[in-house]
Homo-oligomer: A and B are copies of this chain.
Amino acid sequence: MAEKRYLLTPGPTPVPPEVLAELAKPVIHHRERDYREIYERCLLRLQEVYRTKNDVLMFTTSGTGAFESAVANLTSAGDRQLVLSAGNFGERWAGMAKAFGADLVHARLEWGETPEPEDLRSALSDAGDVKVVYLTHSETSTGVVCDVQGLAAVAKEAGALVVVDAVSSLGAVPLEMDDWGLDVVVSGSQKALMTPPGLATAAVSAAGWEQVARSTLPSFYFNWERTRKAQEQVDSAFTPAVSLIVALDVALGLLLDGGLDDAFERHLRLGRACRAGIKAMGLELFSPDEDRSAVVTAVRMPDGMDSAELARALRDRHGITIAGGQGELKGVIFRIGHIGWYDEFDIATALSAVELVLGELGAPIERGQAATRALEVYAEGATV
């Protein structure tokens, strides 16, 4: 019998069968009327998910391509830019801004810290005149979700544009692009938007467009102005990944039909449940034990054990995929994603399997508690 597989990583995430079915339909042409209807609706749905009236620009690329589009379209020779990082994806902003020649100030917190408005205020005050601030809403490498609203307010106060990586947060935790005054928000298809990887998006505020007009870096594939002009005609600048866009439209329909607020609440409860189960097992959380941390739960490995070994055993013996640590956290933590098409029984599966394998590996853990505790906590969180 074919082995059952469980994809429980922070991305790519499981895709609902209705969305997978769309991918198996014959390819349609991107300048066809049928496609254009779908594409137009998909762009409108993205605005709803972003909670913005700004255009949401769509690119056929990984999430990192949307990052690059932001740097390439916003960077002007001599402008100072600031990255506030506390993990792998924050560092990616810094690596990229530096590669493209920005006058970069990198305020680097320890991996796993939660960037606070005060951190940003002090970094901005040290840095002087900063034009662009790059933030990471959900730092997938550590499980930290920051107070991007509070951080954005500090950046705006200092007269800087706010650019937010919302790749793993959009559709999972509250993000209000317009109400919070975010200037640029980038995301990807393969997390809470429940679609395979290959599409990424960037929404841009009016102030963002003013900076684009001043940008001196060249861009072509990722050029925002070209993309906006094409989208105004319900067109694409280049042949898009039509199959993925048709699938994304269906996935966004599922998300919005269920209600964004319901999705946020479900993620919050999944996060609570996962943390409660981990604690019941006697393991130490690496990500913060707080409601905002609703996207990924990061857990310290017991002393002297390597998370790569846990991940390998889960995959090879049980068909379950979780994530290890990235960069400096390699081997030190493991991560359970609970994003998108995911429910409490996925949490129970993840916890049961981790418990089983850690037991086999001889880790000093509490047996028989985690899954039950997680389901209890999930149930307690239900709105009555």
Contacts and interface: CB of A to CB of B under 8 A. Distances in A.
8 contacts: A9-B29, A12-B242, A14-B27, A32-B315, A32-B321, A64-B221, A64-B238, A244-B244
Place the interface of chain A in its size category. Answer: 35 or more
Interface stretch (A17-25, A43-51, A131-139, A205-213): A17-25
B26 A219 contact: no
A190 B237 CA distance: 16
Nearest to A189: B241
Quick one: copies of this chain in the complex?
A: 2
A219 B95 CA distance: 11
Interface in A228-244: 237-244
Given A12-B27, A14-B26, A220-B99, A60 B238 contact: no
A96 interface: yes
Interface in A1-40: 5, 7, 9, 11-15, 20-21, 23-30, 32-33
Interface SS of A by simple majority:
loop
Interface in A165-198: 188, 190, 196-198
Interface string A234-270: 0001111111100000000000000000000000000
A312 B190 CA distance: 35
B24 A12 contact: no
A65 B61 CA distance: 9
Contact of A68 (B13, B14, B221): B221
A226 to B, nearest CB: 10
A63 interface: yes
Given A100-B218, A198-B60, A220-B100, A23 B243 contact: yes
Contacts of A24: 20-21, 23-24
A302 interface: no
Nearest to A321: B29
Contacts of A372: none
| Listed residue (A27, A218, A240) with the most chain B CB atoms within 10 angstroms of its CB | A27
Shortest 7 CB-CB distances between A and B: which pairs?
A198-B241, A24-B24, A23-B23, A62-B238, A196-B243, A64-B238, A68-B221
Given A190-B239, A196-B241, A197-B242, A221 B27 contact: no
A292 B93 CA distance: 47
A103 to B, nearest CB: 14
Contact of A96 (B20, B95, B96, B220): B220
Contact of A26 (B20, B26, B28, B239): B20
Contacts of A242: 12, 196-197
